[in-house]
Amino acid sequence: MSDILIAINLIEEFLEGINSFGKYSTDSKTKSAIERQLVIIGEAVNNFLRSSPSNTLKSAQKIVNFRNRLVHAYDSVDDNIVWVIIQNHLLPLKTEVINQLSA
**Residues acting as catalytic residues:** 67, 72
CB 1 within 8 A of CB 48: yes
Phi, psi dihedrals of residue 56, rounded to the nearest 5°: -130, 150
Listing DSSP states for 46-73 in one string gives HHHHHH-TT---TTHHHHHHHHHHHHHS
Can you give the C-alpha Rg of the chain in angstroms? 13
Sign of CA pseudo-dihedral 34, 37, 42, 45 = negative
